[in-house]
Structure 1
């Protein structure tokens, strides 16, 4: 496998992804994603049920909505990763997370079901990235008008989830 312990360079992603990529700890990205699956699913499973629909401010998402958003975004980023890894040069569109949230009711789902969905999505992401040939990791494509490498997208997947779980810990459970 390619050197998956080196962070993507700035030429592999747009600056607006810095927050997510910088949130990823040092190490092998496949191992980090696998460990994050374990730690995040355990953390979410230990959440008190009465906190699941809590918002720390009126205009913020509930914890259930955050979990759904993490899974939705991972699906989109993994799809982008797949297309670019397979050599598809078609520019991929962006997405509006707030528009997505208008058309889904994550609060109607049980916390258990949302956690199970997150786990399924992450396992699918892991299966995908573990199957990639070395040369696929450096391939670049365009997503949201930004040049992205496959490696950078794997880091964005990891960092996006880490970022939102930190917010849950800091803002929702403090």
Structure 2
């Protein structure tokens, strides 16, 4: 079983995601998250997908697209670090990504399908990493970051957004 990363394996900013991940097998968590997100969002209508809980906030569809974008980016970081590239990653501008993504033009179910495809790719990558790859490091926010910490950040980021979706988007529709 992959153990929870230690605090010296990541920048303190990421603690908010890592602390959300339960102490279970990480690959099992990722699979169950994928199923939970799919079940949570499978019957979302066009209106619900376009819903914004405040005027300047992202729509539910955009939140889901953001989740896929972040996972793609972090999975690439895992790949680079696990393969021995001790690269330094700069943070990406999530608002710039959103401005250029045009999720609003896509069907909600297509965005949900894309998220599932991204998660399948992440799970495949993580399941094939050799044991010695997990502790390899790159740099993010001028601090070492292990492949193991990144895997936990991926899981925690989804849990973070699942909670936001339930609390701020689906309660309006009494979905959950």
TM range (shorter): over 0.9
Among 106, 123, 126, the alignment partner of 1:126 is 123
CA distance in 2, matches of 1:21, 1:115: 24
Among 25, 45, 50, the alignment partner of 1:48 is 45
CA distance in 1, matches of 2:167, 2:87: 39
Q: Is the 8 A contact 2:11 2:141 kept in 1?
A: no
Among 6, 25, 29, the alignment partner of 1:9 is 6
Deviation for aligned residue 1:46: 2.7
Aligned to 2:77: 80
CA distance in 1, matches of 2:87, 2:77: 10
What is the alpha-carbon root mean square deviation over aligned residues? 1.1
Matched, 1:110 2:125: no
CA distance in 1, matches of 2:87, 2:41: 36
Aligned to 1:89: 86
Deviation for aligned residue 1:75: 0.3
CA distance in 1, matches of 2:33, 2:6: 22
Aligned to 1:64: 61
CA distance in 1, matches of 2:60, 2:118: 18
Equivalent pairs counted in the alignment come to 171
CA distance in 1, matches of 2:91, 2:162: 23
SS of match in other structure, 2:145: strand
CA distance in 2, matches of 1:82, 1:154: 10
Deviation for aligned residue 1:115: 0.7
The gaps in structure 2 that reach 5 residues or longer are 172-176
SS of match in other structure, 2:139: strand
Q: Is the 8 A contact 1:56 1:171 kept in 2?
A: yes
Deviation for aligned residue 1:146: 3.0
Among 134, 138, 142, the alignment partner of 1:141 is 138
TM-score (norm 2): 0.93
The gaps in structure 1 that reach 5 residues or longer are none
Alignment of 1:153-164 (within 5 A): 153-164=150-161
